[in-house]
Chains A and B, each alone.
Chain A
Amino acid sequence: MKQTWIKFLVMVIAVFSMHLAYSAPNLEIDTPAINALKSSMQMRHEQLESFYGSGAIGLTSNGLIAVRDAKALPLKDRQGINALVASENADRNKLYQEIAVANGHPEWSSSIQEAFAGRWIDKAQSGWYYQAAGGWMQK
């Protein structure tokens, strides 16, 4: 009986120290996969930046982007905008997934996506559009 109690205590201590290890404050974001996605998004942003400014695209409430008003675009850009938005969203989805995986919790990806959603909008330049409960809003 005494032995069982000792075993039990050891288990509790082990589980508790696991908990301490998990409560490390920082998330791992410096992995090759994450850095590759970041630089791909960085390059694409050079194209996207003026489209945010003109209101052609906006930030969605779920951490992605969407075409808001294709008419705000010069004709030559209208064709490519959907593909550009789609590849940006693919990268963003992969980014959220990769951060979750890099931290050993693939199931965190939707919470990470939520955290990003708020921060993209907070950091958006004034004049850019973002999606709120009532529809598109301008910063």
Chain B
Amino acid sequence: MEKNLLVLLLAGVLTACVTINIYFPAAAAQEAADQIIDDVWKIKEGEAAKAPIPPSVTTEAPVK
């Protein structure tokens, strides 16, 4: 009788752990998505944040 109870407990612990194991790693999935999308859309790092570089002021005017 006690053994049956133990088996039941063991099964309970096992299923609880399995539930944890199939938990979906949402943050990792987002990271993976970011990497793949950047590659497919050829987004370079920091491109969105970067403002276009203003043309450098020519201090030396070409002397003719």
Q: Which residues of A contact B (CB under 8 A)?
A: 1, 4, 8, 11-12, 15-16, 18-19, 22-23, 25-27, 29, 34, 38, 41-42, 45, 95, 99, 105, 107-108, 111-112, 115-116, 118-120, 123
Q: Which residues of B contact A (CB under 8 A)?
A: 2-3, 6, 9-10, 13-14, 17, 20-22, 24-43
Among A15, A34, A107, A118, the most chain B Cβ lie within 10 Å of the Cβ of A15
Residue from the list B3, B20, B25, B43 in contact with A27, Cβ < 8 A: B25
Is the Cβ of B31 less than 8 Å from the Cβ of A27?
A: yes
Q: In the complex, A115 Cα to B32 Cα: how many Å?
A: 9
B interface SS class: helix
Is the Cβ of B21 less than 8 Å from the Cβ of A22?
A: yes
A interface SS class: helix
* Neighbouring B residues of A116 by C-beta, 8 Å: 29, 33, 36-37
Is the Cβ of A115 less than 8 Å from the Cβ of B30?
A: yes
* Neighbouring A residues of B9 by C-beta, 8 Å: 8
Q: In the complex, A4 Cα to B22 Cα: how many Å?
A: 28
Is the Cβ of B24 less than 8 Å from the Cβ of A111?
A: yes
Is the Cβ of A99 less than 8 Å from the Cβ of B41?
A: no
Task: Report the minimum CB–CB distance from A88 to chain B (whole Å).
Answer: 10
Closest to A102 in B: B32
Is the Cβ of B37 less than 8 Å from the Cβ of A42?
A: no
Residue from the list A4, A8, A12, A26 in contact with B31, Cβ < 8 A: A26
